Structure 1
Amino acid sequence: MKKLILTTAALAVTAGFAMADTVRLGTEGAYAPWNFVNDAGEIDGFERELGDELCKRASLDCTWVKNDWDSIIPNLVSGNYDAIIAGMSITAERDEVIDFTQAYTPPDPSSYVAMSADVNPETAVVAAQAATIQAAFVANNGWTLIEFASPEETVAAVKNGEADAVLADKSFLDTMVGQDGLVMLERMEAIGGGVGMGIRESDGELRAKFDTAIQSMKDDGTLNTLIAKWEVSSQW
């Protein structure tokens, strides 16, 4: 559940969603197990399966659009797709620009991965993906931060010695532990909120449809089953 920090002062809503049209779901496709591109070149992961089920329950015809993380909100606002489903935490800052559905996962703890279990993040060089709450957390604590455009680059920086540790969602780092000697530190950080779908502020009807679908999956237990299958967070 990555957490984008918005730097744009204002974004104008330039496109709306017509309920008769196909709903385009925007995701990063680079944050396993939340979302990734599989060997067949298709969007896969927890959010692909979740999004398809939500669209089915909402009686919506949906397609998927891959978009880089750093422009994922601006491209929603400008109309390149109709909803974001990309491990995005619900924050007050983002809510000033877009709307959110109710959360579909609880908050996921942020963890550290390093080449040694003895690394102290407070005195180390910590890598984080740019424009995330993890990056802001390190900077706000006055620690040494090095930022990268993609999550894979943050891990590579630790492997090649450019950084001492990487701070990211635990569910993402779980997939990295053991690679080339990477270990998970015991320390974890409680930052960010639950993860929801981002919707343009003008698309209240679409948000309501997804809210209803998310709630139905919570009520019948299928959302917890999906969370457990992909091990993305704690359950409801």
Structure 2
Amino acid sequence: MKRLNKTFTLMALVAGLAASSAAQSHGIWFAQRATQLALLYGVGADDLDIVKRFSMVTSMKGYDADGKPVPTALHVDGRLVLVDMENQPAIVSAVLDNGTWSHTPDGKWHKQGRDEQPSATVSEKNTKYAVHIIGPLTKPLPLLPDQTLQIVPVDGKLPALLGQPIKLRVYYKGKPVAGAKLMHDWINDPDGKPVLTGADGTVTIPVRNQGLNVIVAILNSPSDEPKKYDHMEHLASLSFVLPHAPE
């Protein structure tokens, strides 16, 4: 009987981990669309419907090259959510509250907590964060308001070429965090093996693309409402573009 109980416990753990992995598969990031900077939602090549999630965006901010705030905003343009670039921000950031989700034994996801889905294999609260570096910075990227989880290049200057190393530090609530999962190419290799941040919150990876790079960090933190969800999942992206050779 003890062996049987252990087997069921292991199966439940595996199911929970698999479900959590599936729930982690969507994030937000910034990228150019038809010469305009847009906020996107999805994973890999899946650019999902951000317009229907527009009301879930709780923060949108812009900063100049010194990290000082400049006015900006998001607006819906057809099927896209575009960034107001009138004040030429060098950095933009956003937060999307994706709510609470539960995965039930039948393999379905429900936008409900454990209090409404008591048989769920996992229930979690999901928040998505995004930071995009548009232009050269005069100083290292600062910690930004509302970015509970944030990826920060340790050096103030980004590499110029793909394959060159970039040292990153992941912060949670303003402090370096160990054990965060870092995905080095969210667009082209979303199923790649993550690298874990070290004791000082850092990890060094090669820059993947001579073009758009979207790096993602994922961290689970303890639940602040255990009756509703098991943990809180934070997914943060850092995006930037390495320019191609002149045409």
Q: Determine which structure has more spread, i.e. the larger CA radius of gyration.
A: 2
Q: TM-score range by the shorter chain?
A: under 0.3
Higher RCO, 1 vs 2 (CA within 8 Å, ≥6 residues apart): 1
Q: TM (normalized to structure 2)?
A: 0.25
Structure with bigger strand share is 2
Q: TM (normalized to structure 1)?
A: 0.26
